[in-house]
Amino acid sequence: MDRTPKMQAKPLLLVDIDGVISLWGFPMDMRPPGAFAVIDGIPHFLSTRAAEHLLALQGAFELAWCSGWEEKADEHLPHLLGVPRGLPHLTFERSRADVSARAHWKLAAIDAFAGPDRALAWIDDAFNDACHVWAAERGAPTLLVETEPRDGLREDHAATLAAWAKGLGAAA
């Protein structure tokens, strides 16, 4: 009989891009650390601070892109920000007709990707009431971290995520 303890999978960290890493709405004279880049003809201001926080959190989490960028995240962000190459990404239904007070266009894909028993944290700038209800009703620990598009992923968000993962027993 094997009595060695089973390794728990790291919690997932689902990362949106627009409003988390790609920022807007900040005063130009108070621009956060980062750089402008044109991606598929669209200008983005990419936060180097958010990238640094993600790099620091990868020891405690399994990172995955949870953005309408889908596979484009891995095509562009590793060489622009130094984030890891080869991170998985969620794939979403092309119809977003489900967006309402009772639903969110990402929830079905998150459920399919994470399953019901995997702890996860989700960073996004566009949660609705359905997201909070969904998180409260999940069987596994779930943390929603809401960002503002002008700031993106800040130090206090990263500290909250690290403490949450540590509380689950994830290595920091």
Per-residue pLDDT of 34-91, as tens digits, reads: 999 999 999 999 999 999 999 999 999 999 999 999 999 999 999 999 999 999 999 9
| Cα 57 to Cα 63: distance, rounded to the nearest angstrom | 9
Please tell us whether the domain made up of 12-167 is placed in CATH 3.40.50.1370: no
How many angstroms separate the first and last alpha carbons of the chain?
31
Q: What are the sequence ranges of the domains in the chain?
A: 12-167
What pLDDT digit, counting tens, does each position of 113-130 carry?
999 999 999 999 999 999
The angle at the Cα of 71, spanning 10 to 172, to the nearest 5 degrees, equals: 20
